[in-house]
Chain A
Amino acid sequence: MKVFPDDLLYNREHTWVRVEGELATIGITDYAQENLGEILAVELPEVDSYVERDEPFGTIESAKGVFELISPVSGEVISVNEDILDDIGIINSDPHDTGWMIVIGMKDLEELDDLLDSREYHDFVLKEAEGG
């Protein structure tokens, strides 16, 4: 089973958040990218648009299907990783770092309380992989 970085928070839809003040950088987890297989296309929101927690902020396609990206927090999109649009392979090769997707200016920091830490997320995916 994979190791998930301690400095990230996770939701049950397999996105991670790196928090710096009120900024939340968001991407998909290594577990998610491995499960999806080779990623073929991604659609991300525009800067200045607003995303809601637990709502789709983007869509990703792999050879296995289309998957909606569910936002772990609410807020305004501050930036979008243009590097992904040039080289989509970095989502597969470096999902927790250079494969980040968007940065959000968070609206409500208390939303972070509902997210999982690395240990909790590890247990969650272990259970999911076992079909639990």
Chain B
Amino acid sequence: MIWRFIPYKRLNAFENMATDEALFRENQLRGAKPILRFYSWSPPSISLGYFQETSKEVDIEECRRCHIDIVRRPTGGKAVLHEHDLTYAVIAKDNNPLFPPDILGTYRVISGCIADALSELGIKTEMSVDGRTSGQDSLKAACFSSPSQYELLVNKRKICGSAQVRSRGVFLQHGSILLDFDPVKNCALLLPQHGNRGRQIENLRKSVTSIYEHIGTEFSVDKICHVLQRSFEKKLGIELVEGGLTMEEEILMIQLMKDKYTSDKWNIEGKGTLYGS
């Protein structure tokens, strides 16, 4: 089976989310091949889950001061600071035979591909089976503080967090693989209603890890992408053929950027949200 592979790019938050949604929508309309995409975020950005209330989850003023963009994802889940991470996106039909029919099965399969890649890089991971409950309510806004089922942990510390949206027979799953992690910055930006800041930082430090913490900066992002690419091919038995966006996807991406992902109404207020409505 051939998938389209969209190689690693550094884009801003709005381009990244508009691209993911354009690929998702066009796949619904035209039934294209499954897609794997890698990207990172420049400038650093915070992405929020679809239903999150921005002012409760993020210190907006502090983000502005630090030149951190804020964008709302089309997917669920919690807030993520994208500064030293690598993000993947998979778009495929939800009846694709490579993925089990249950929703969690998709997380399991994709996590398996990432786990194999991390293993090749020298990092042994395990999947959270029941979703670890941290018991740290004050941290629950931050994605990496609480793994869901089939997310990847290293010694019980989360290294990759994912989120998903499904509609009309297609799913988009994207997720952040941490290259490095700064608990102090995460706390400062993601936890505006803070209690004991020192304890929160310590709790985050204990519950989150990163690639660099285990193997240093030995491998470039390009190398890590290459290992991930091979791992997806091997694990899923697919061939990844490099490609870009189609003209229709490009047009929709630009439209979504303009109408949705650069608008405060979507990113901050979270209203007027339904595309096509």
Contacts and interface: CB of A to CB of B under 8 A. Distances in A.
Interface of A: 13, 35-36, 40-41, 43, 45, 49, 51, 54-59, 61-68, 70, 128-132
Contacts of B75: 65-66
B25 to A, nearest CB: 11
18 contacts: A43-B274, A45-B274, A45-B277, A56-B167, A59-B50, A59-B51, A61-B49, A61-B51, A61-B76, A63-B148, A64-B76, A64-B164, A65-B76, A66-B49, A66-B50, A67-B167, A128-B95, A131-B97
B216 to A, nearest CB: 34
A66 B103 contact: no
Most-contacted residue by chain B among A36, A58, A68, A132 (CB, 10 A): A68
Given A13-B168, A56-B276, A61-B50, A35 B102 contact: yes
A57 B166 CA distance: 14
Nearest to A69: B167
Interface residues of B, number: 30
- Top 5 nearest A-B pairs by Cβ distance? A65-B164, A68-B167, A66-B76, A41-B51, A66-B165
A66 B101 contact: no
Given A66-B76, A66-B166, 6 more contacts: A35-B103, A56-B275, A61-B50, A65-B165, A65-B173, A66-B51
Contact of B167 (A35, A62, A70, A130): A70
B123 interface: no
Interface of B: 49-51, 74-77, 95, 97, 100-104, 107, 131, 148, 163-168, 171, 173, 273-277
A102 B273 CA distance: 18
B276 A55 contact: yes
A49 B271 CA distance: 14
Q: Helix, strand, loop or mixed for chain B's interface?
A: loop
Contact of B274 (A59, A61, A128, A130): A59
Contacts of B107: 64
Contacts of A68: 165-168, 274
A131 B101 contact: yes
Contacts of A41: 51
Contacts of B276: 55-56
A56 B95 contact: no
A70 B167 CA distance: 8
A54 B83 CA distance: 38
B168 A65 contact: no
Nearest to A58: B274
B97 A40 contact: no
A97 to B, nearest CB: 25
Contacts of A58: 274
A59 B74 CA distance: 10
Given A49-B277, A59-B50, A128-B95, A65 B101 contact: no
Nearest to B102: A35
A30 B241 CA distance: 40
